[in-house]
Structure 1
Amino acid sequence: MKKIVLIIGLGLLVQLSFAGGGWPSPKGKGYFKWSQYVIRSGSYYAPNGEIIDIATASVYITSLYGEYGLTDKLTVIGYVPFFSRATLNEQVDANGNQIAPGDAVNSFGDTDISFKYGLITNKPVVMSASVTFGLPFGNDAGGQTGVLQTGDGEFNTMISLEASRGINQGKGYVNTLLAFNNRSNNFSDEWRWGVEVGHSLTSRLSGALKVYSVNTFNNGSDVETPSNGIFSNNIEYLAITPELNYRIKESFGLSTAVGFAASGRRVLASPSFSIGLYLTI
């Protein structure tokens, strides 16, 4: 049976794509979230999809996410990783002699700004269209070695369609996503799809299961990028992410998530975890 592993799976993009689904935020209403993502890995999904050993690498991302209704149909969305850290462990031999020194980089991360417009609203099935601008504020060649990354160094524009429906008298929902991501700087374009199902478990606790797939067109450079992060070119993965949200107060709560990957290429392959605090207005 094929091994299933935990993976960061670019969980930030999963969050950005699915928050809100096909429903735009009502005018003057919003959702805001502080999150911490962590991955520490000694293994990597190689370009052929096999898992290989690498020097232990870590990525830490502290971010703010927000969406706000400019009108009842138009929502502005932002994802800002205001602190990103990538590290590479020191390597030593069996006798304790250093083979390669450790390395680290701290910086601002790649930022996303989106605009979502409600195409079909106030119907059992709603639909929205979004455009996302990926801003390369991160470091794509950091540390003393120049191989650590807190971003991919390319500007991208992603167009997406989302359709959603409430289920079980509003206690649950189903979201679907289809997107095309145009990438600059000789990076390959991507197409993406996703499905999310969520439901209230108690009066305060809700859960969601997200399936998200990123697929490359392989129409850019085939030059390999560093294998110690999550920002490579020609990335592919299928991520399965369960999430739990606990409402502490009416407009304030706690969110946790972990992502499983059935397959991947050019991304770290190890346990990743996220925790966040959210606020609705």
Structure 2
Amino acid sequence: MRTYQHNLFRSLLVGVGFTLVSTFSYAQSGWTKEKGEGFYQLSFNRFSSSDYYTLEGELLNTNAFTQNSLVFYGEYGVTDRFTLIANLPLQVWNGFSTTETVNGLGDLRLEFKHAILKKYLPLAISVAPEIPIGRANNFAQSTQNDFESINLPSGDGEFNVWTTLSTSFALPNAPLYGSIFGSYNYRTQYEDISFSDQIALGVELGYQIAGKVWVNGRLQGLSSVDDVRVVTDFVRGDGTEFTSYSFGASVPVYKNFHLSFNYRNYADFLFSRKNLYSAGTFSLGVFYQSKRKTNE
């Protein structure tokens, strides 16, 4: 059963995407890595939209905003119950159709995950500080008026901490798993701007086809704790709310290397869209899994 659950867990990280307005959208599960095991992924993500939802939920059509990102994601089992996780956008490219494209390093997220229960019902808690090492101010010049520019940061400039409780299950006689999680994001401030805390929740189901290809689907939601009335900017995500759904797949290509594909979009099932550009995000990645070496 242990080996089976490990195989299931490989699919949990398919298509990890990145946008500044939805940085909570990582795979969450009740499993931790075994000691010495690792998972390392490099992914490219593309997003473009001209549909902007205001803080009041009103849909506006604007010049198209595009974000591309190259993201590293890694997990390592320090012990059988403790996993260290890192997520770092190596480069984030932001721009409107009427501006130049600016780029920079994103914020580093470090996650410390501990298994509360492991054998019968996997249950884990994690604490994940996001360290503001990205460019909090990154101005894109207008291509139409030389005197106009807009700030499109690659990092939000504030220190915040996600705390997540997650649980999972795996059927003993079928290649099917499920996970559910709840998170609280304690946000601080950038310069003189304070941000509202956030609450996130999500559910995921995955299934293996023909003993090789894993497919999964996720439904996630994000809501602000406070009633945000004044827009700072959409990129930093203050007052942002939404429901997202995604579909992913992973395919083995060579030994422990796999290709991953993911599509993610927004809806209003759990929380209506606010302070958000809404469209699909396409992700393509490659990941490597290292197994624990044993002398048995």
Query: Does residue 1:122 correspond to 2:123, yes or no?
Result: no
The equivalent residue for 1:105 is: 102
Root-mean-square deviation (CA, aligned residues, Å) is: 1.9
Question: Scaled by the length of structure 2, what TM-score is found?
Answer: 0.82
- Counterpart mapping for 1:266-281 below 5 A: 266-281=275-290
Matches of 1:13 and 1:180, distance apart in 2? 10
Matches of 1:242 and 1:172, distance apart in 2? 15
The equivalent residue for 2:232 is: 225
Matches of 1:211 and 1:172, distance apart in 2? 17
Residue segments in structure 2 that go unaligned for 5+ positions in a row: 1-17, 142-148, 291-296
Cα drift, residue 249 of structure 1: 3.0
Matches of 1:216 and 1:115, distance apart in 2? 24
Q: Provide the secondary structure at the position in 2 that maps to 1:259.
A: strand
Tell me the matched-pair count.
Answer: 257
Which residue of 169, 181, 187 corresponds with 2:173?
169
Identity across the alignment (%): 24
Matches of 1:271 and 1:198, distance apart in 2? 21
Cα drift, residue 72 of structure 1: 0.5
Q: Which has the higher strand share?
A: 1
Matches of 2:173 and 2:39, distance apart in 1? 22
Matches of 1:204 and 1:172, distance apart in 2? 13
User: After superposition, what is the alpha-carbon deviation per residue over 1:104-125, rounded to whole angstroms, capped at 9, x for unaligned?
Assistant: 32110011000000000111x2
Q: Is the 8 A contact 2:196 2:238 kept in 1?
A: yes
Which residue of 220, 229, 240 corresponds with 1:235?
240
Paired letter, 1:215: S
Q: Provide the secondary structure at the position in 2 that maps to 1:265.
A: coil
Cα drift, residue 12 of structure 1: 5.2
Q: Is the 8 A contact 1:80 1:111 kept in 2?
A: yes
Matches of 2:58 and 2:33, distance apart in 1? 41
The equivalent residue for 1:93 is: none
Q: Provide the secondary structure at the position in 2 that maps to 1:61.
A: strand
Query: Does residue 1:181 correspond to 2:188, yes or no?
Result: no
Matches of 2:280 and 2:199, distance apart in 1? 25
Q: Is the 8 A contact 1:36 1:61 kept in 2?
A: yes
- Counterpart mapping for 1:4-23 below 5 A: 13-15=24-26, 17-18=27-28, 21-23=29-31
Seen in structure 2, the aligned counterparts of structure 1 residues 8 and 112 have a Cα distance that, compared at 3 Å, is closer
Q: Is the 8 A contact 2:129 2:161 kept in 1?
A: yes
The equivalent residue for 1:252 is: 257
Paired letter, 1:13: F
Matches of 2:263 and 2:172, distance apart in 1? 26
Paired letter, 1:107: G
Matches of 1:13 and 1:191, distance apart in 2? 10
Residue segments in structure 1 that go unaligned for 5+ positions in a row: 1-6, 91-101
Cα drift, residue 146 of structure 1: 4.0
Q: Provide the secondary structure at the position in 1 that maps to 2:239.
A: coil
Matches of 2:165 and 2:217, distance apart in 1? 19
Paired letter, 1:217: V
Matches of 1:170 and 1:52, distance apart in 2? 46
Matches of 2:87 and 2:249, distance apart in 1? 20
User: After superposition, what is the alpha-carbon deviation per residue over 1:7-40, rounded to whole angstroms, capped at 9, x for unaligned?
Assistant: 969565322x42xx11110000011110111111
